[in-house]
Every structure is written in C-alpha cells, then in structure tokens.
C-alpha cells in the first residue's frame, strides 16, 4: 500500500480506499476508482453508484457482505472546476474524473496482490476502466458485457515496474457496465439487468 501511495505522488488524487470483503467470496467486483463519498468514508461503493450496485446484488440474492469490492485505483482522482453558486458567484470545486493510465499503473500492485490472494468464484468488472485494467485496451464493455470469459489478466512485470505482462493463471470474468452508467445513460439499465441475471445464473451452476 505504501509503495502505491508513493507511485501515485504528484497526481491530483485524494484519500485511500482499501478493497473490502471476504477472502473467498462468490464475486470479486473490480470498479474504477473511489468517488467523493468513498474517499471521505474510506469505503468502496458507498455513494450513489453503491446504491445501484446494491440493487444489482440483491437481484441475484447477494449483499455487499458476500462480495469483495475493489477497483483499479484506490484514491479519488479529482479535477478543480468553477461552479456557479446561486448568488452568481463562481467558486472552485473538486469534481470526480476518470483515472489516467499512469494512475492505474501506479496502483496496479494492489490489485495484483488481490488477484493472487482473493479467490472468488467469479470476477465481475464494472465499466471499461476495471475491464481494461485486467484484459487490456482492446477489451470494451460494449463488446464483452454479459459474456463469460476465461482468460489470463494483465499484471505488472514486477512490483516496481510500469509495464504489464500476462498472468500465467486464468481467471473467470463476466464484464458488465459500471453501476453509475445508468445516471448518464438510463438505457443501460436493461443491459445491466440482463448481465446481472447471467452472473446469477452462472453462480447457480457452480459448486463453491
Ligand atoms: N466507483 C468505483 O469504481 N468504485 C467506488 O468505490 C465507487 C465508485
């Protein structure tokens, strides 16, 4: 963890959220990065996206406590922007932004460690950032969502490296959209519901 805080130094990020959940969970969820609420509370998926995620989990009979929640980046990437107040005054405010490639690589040792030490039945990636962290830039959620994939994943060549290599181990992954995607694209809800049904059906067929 300390080395990752060092590796990301100089980037506009704040807070640090550890992965959370059992060591042998049904699912390992790989998100993008914490938002404002997560950075304040130090817990993953406790904001608006977390509420959506809870509904998806409930649709297949799971709760937050049944799953391991993690993300590509552990600190909240932010950007300062002007916000117009009601009185017309402009104030500077921090907004969430997607993590950069170098921020994702800076925090890669943590997710690599989790991939080695957490043994889920299934990995579910939430959105493109988590998906591409594991399967590379050519993997897109629009192409792959709802598909059962059995593939090696990207891991750092070594702890201090900034280059990925492919794991010798194969992981079982079903990609889906990020729960927050329904806020800006409500039509995604249908895809999300179908994907979560696929995830639920897969779990039912497995002895775990
Ligand atoms: N989005 C993520 O990817 N992770 C969180 O913890 C919250 C929102």
Q: What is the mean pLDDT of the chain?
A: 97
Lookup result for tokens 């059992």: 22
Q: Is residue 208 part of a domain?
A: no
User: How far, in Å, from the CA of 53 to the mean position of ligand 1?
Assistant: 10
Positions of E strands within 13-89: 13-14, 27-31, 67-71, 76-84
The 10s digit of each residue's pLDDT in 35-86 is: 999 999 999 999 999 999 999 999 999 999 999 999 999 999 999 999 999 8
Q: Of ligand 1's atoms, which has the minimum distance to the CA of residue 38?
A: 6
Mean pLDDT of 134-154: 98
Residue 207 confidence (pLDDT) above 80: no
Nearest to 144 by CA among 159, 130, 161, 162: 130
Q: In which domain, by residue range, is 137 found?
A: 2-203
User: Cα separation of 124 and 45, whole Å?
Assistant: 14
Q: Is residue 9 part of a domain?
A: yes
Q: Is residue 142 part of a domain?
A: yes
What does the pLDDT read at residue 184?
96
User: How far, in Å, from the CA of 89 to the mean position of ligand 1?
Assistant: 31
User: Cα separation of 181 and 187, whole Å?
Assistant: 9
Q: Is residue 86 part of a domain?
A: yes
User: Cα separation of 188 and 180, whole Å?
Assistant: 10
The 10s digit of each residue's pLDDT in 81-128 is: 999 998 999 999 999 999 999 999 999 999 999 999 999 999 999 999
Q: Of ligand 1's atoms, which has the minimum distance to the CA of residue 17?
A: 6
**Count of structural domains within the chain:** 1
Q: Is residue 72 part of a domain?
A: yes
What does the pLDDT read at residue 79?
98
Q: Is residue 122 part of a domain?
A: yes
Q: Is residue 158 part of a domain?
A: yes
99 touches ligand 1 (CB under 6 Å): no
How is residue 197 annotated by DSSP? Answer: H
User: Cα separation of 105 and 206, whole Å?
Assistant: 33
User: Cα separation of 64 and 52, whole Å?
Assistant: 12
Q: What does DSSP say about strands 76-84 and 149-151: parallel, antiparallel, or unpaired? A: unpaired
CATH number of the domain that 75 lies in? 3.40.470.10
What does the pLDDT read at residue 103?
98
Q: Is residue 27 part of a domain?
A: yes
């Amino acid at each position: 963890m300390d080395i990752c805080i060092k590796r990301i130094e100089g980037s506009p990020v704040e807070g640090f959220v550890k992965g959370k959940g059992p060591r042998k969970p049904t699912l390992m969820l790989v998100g993008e990065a914490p938002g404002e609420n997560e950075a304040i509370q130090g817990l993953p998926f406790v904001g608006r996206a977390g509420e959506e995620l809870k509904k998806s989990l409930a649709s297949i009979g799971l709760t937050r406590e049944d799953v391991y929640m993690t993300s590509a980046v552990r600190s909240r990437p932010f950007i300062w922007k002007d916000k117009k107040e009601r009185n017309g005054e402009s104030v500077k405010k921090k907004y969430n932004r997607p993590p950069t490639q170098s921020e994702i690589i800076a925090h890669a040792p943590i997710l690599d460690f989790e991939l080695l030490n957490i043994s889920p039945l299934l990995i579910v990636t939430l959105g493109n950032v988590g998906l591409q962290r594991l399967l590379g830039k050519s993997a897109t959620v629009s192409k792959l969502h709802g598909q059962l994939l059995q593939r090696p994943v990207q891991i750092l060549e070594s702890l201090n490296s900034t280059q990925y290599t492919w794991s010798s181990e194969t992981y079982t992954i079903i990609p889906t959209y990020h729960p927050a995607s329904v806020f800006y694209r409500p039509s995604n809800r249908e895809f999300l519901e179908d994907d979560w049904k696929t995830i639920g059906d897969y779990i039912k067929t497995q002895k775990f």
